[in-house]
A and B are shown apart, each in its own frame.
Chain A
Amino acid sequence: MTLTAASASRTRLGGLAAGALSSAWRPSPPPLALTAGELSEVEPVLLGAGAGGLGWGRIRGSGLESTPAGAAFHQAYRHQALAYLLRRTRIAEVVQRLRGAGIEPIMGKGWALARLYPEPGLRPCGDIDLYVGRQDYAAAALALRGEIGELVDLHCGFAELDDRDEAELRARSRLATAGEVTVRIFGPEDHLRLVALHALRHGLLRPLWLCDVAVALESAAADFDWDYFARGPYRRADWVFVALEAAHAILGARIEAVAAGRRRVRLPSWLVPAVLREWGAARPPQGARVPIADLLRQPGALGRALLLRWPNAIEATIGLGSPFNELPRLPLQIGECLRRTFLFSVRRAHGPITPAGHRG
């Protein structure tokens, strides 16, 4: 198969995934317009991306429930529904351990996002992402020893929200009930911003992340503070609106929720095809790849791993702090590759740059 044909095939598969997930986060999505054959094609893409539960939400009542893909999505949905309930207990335990150490974490992504979906089971809970101020990180890591990595992703600082003041993040945070306890989650403006920037930073690699952007966008209540949401460095604000527009263009998210009068960004023509191609390729996300350092003596595996890490146009744009425009992305992708190689070399020479336990 030629490179062009392979790329077209991936784009088509990504398009099928987008069709399967369009509106999947809503309580009553419209009828699915895929055939049983197309559903079968898209099954590994959705399951691999943790979007099997959303796939079930989309096909139930469509007559495709009894297909093999339907059965797989149903199992994913059931599994995630139970995991959601079980995760509440673990969250309560972890948060209470931190509170015992005098630290109040803020939760984001994972369960904090899953609760925005209309029912448990649609979205996997993923890690328990907890954010603490840099000054509290060491004490928090100590309080959670044995937990970090397996289930808990303890963030030193506020990751993509590092342009916000901690006091303001806390003032705008909300309390949510997780089983017997209440946990602090990011306020809706900060959460949408976090989710949008996180998805872009990882090149919109997983369809689930764009569904998250869509569900957080459509959950915006009438009092959503769009001015605060857009506040901050101009380029970063631009990126956030690019993510919202992408959710609208690819998955049909209701962009009208964005406050009237707010500028709409125009998506560059390469963005939607790039996302669909990426979804069709179903690459594993960062954090689920064998480290390059382990492959340095295995040329074959190293070559494959490097190909797997070739930054897509979105990752490259974000990585180099560039605008989303019509200029070619290849120079940025090469630049991003060089930047990563440099960082890798520095890490190899001096040990990890980021604190242990901190993963994107």
Chain B
Amino acid sequence: MKPKRRKDALVVHELPEEMLVYDLERHKAFCLSRNIAWIWRHCTGQRTPGQIARALEAEIGAPVGEDVMGVALHRLSKAHLLREPIGLPAASARSSRRQLLRHAATLGGLTILAISAPTVGQAATCVPAGTCVNSACKDASGRVCCSGASSCRQNSMVCGTGQTGFQCM
């Protein structure tokens, strides 16, 4: 198996300590810590996990077990960042989760963090014109249209059908 990273429909932003990835198909955003970003970048479809692990060892000057590499690839796969899905390697079943995490931590972490919108920011009490709402002119959080509680109209072309087929005016 030679893992290959997905390139289509992704927006990638590299920062000094991490990499931000936005999936345009699933509308999900991730933050890859430095080492897992390095692994993902080297999933070119030309190297086996073992070869990538050895290259990472050379890069960071610390041992990288195959178990840890397997977990990293599985996490990338679960985030739909690889072309082919990769399951958790059988070998990892032998290592305890705690051991794996400790090992991963020595590498500076192998985390993929989901990025969500700041929760307090944009704390609007109503929703602006153009927003898709339900037939009671309310969005999923129960906020009414800023233009008024009866100021939405059916617009299935934009908002789809059913409960979301209305749009604030």
Hey, which bits of chain A sit against chain B, CB under 8 A?
Answer: 43-44, 47-50, 52, 72, 75-76, 78-79, 81-82, 85-86, 120, 124, 146-152, 284, 287-291, 293-294, 356-357, 359
Contact = CB atoms under 8 A, between A and B. Distances in A.
Contacts of A357: 129
Contact of A50 (B122, B130, B158): B122
B124 A76 contact: no
A146 B115 contact: no
B11 A79 contact: no
Contacts of B116: 75, 79
B128 A149 contact: yes
A52 B121 contact: yes
Interface in B97-126: 115-126
Interface residues of B, number: 33
Nearest to A78: B115
Contact of A82 (B11, B155, B158): B11
Contact of A52 (B22, B29, B118, B157): B118
Contact of B121 (A124, A146, A289, A293): A124
Contact of A146 (B20, B118, B158, B169): B158
B128 A294 contact: no
B158 A44 contact: no
Contacts of B149: 294
Contact of A149 (B20, B129, B144): B129
B121 A150 contact: no
B146 interface: yes
A82 B123 contact: no
Nearest to A60: B17
B31 interface: yes
Nearest to A145: B158
Given A75-B115, A82-B115, A289 B148 contact: no
Contacts of B168: 149
B119 A47 contact: yes
Q: Which 6 A-B pairs have the closest CB atoms?
A: A149-B130, A149-B129, A150-B130, A288-B124, A47-B120, A76-B118
A72 B131 CA distance: 26
B129 A284 contact: no
Contacts of A289: 124-126, 146
A86 B22 contact: yes
A294 B115 contact: no
Contacts of A287: 124, 128, 146
A263 B69 CA distance: 65
A85 B24 CA distance: 12
A120 B124 contact: no
A81 B13 contact: yes
Contacts of B121: 47-50, 52, 76, 124
Nearest to A147: B130
Interface in B25-52: 29, 31
Contacts of B22: 82, 85-86
B147 interface: yes
Nearest to B22: A82
Contacts of B129: 148-150, 356-357
B122 A85 contact: no
Contacts of A290: 125-126, 144, 146
A180 B119 CA distance: 31
A148 B147 CA distance: 13
A47 B120 CA distance: 5
A270 B168 CA distance: 40
B158 A78 contact: no
Residue among A86, A148, A294, A356 with max Cβ neighbours from chain B (10 Å): A294
B13 A120 contact: yes
Given A287-B146, A291-B148, A82 B20 contact: yes
Interface in B118-169: 118-126, 128-131, 144, 146-149, 155, 157-158, 168-169
A147 B131 CA distance: 9
Contact of A284 (B11, B125, B169): B125
A86 B129 CA distance: 21
B13 A82 contact: yes
Contact of B146 (A52, A86, A291, A356): A291
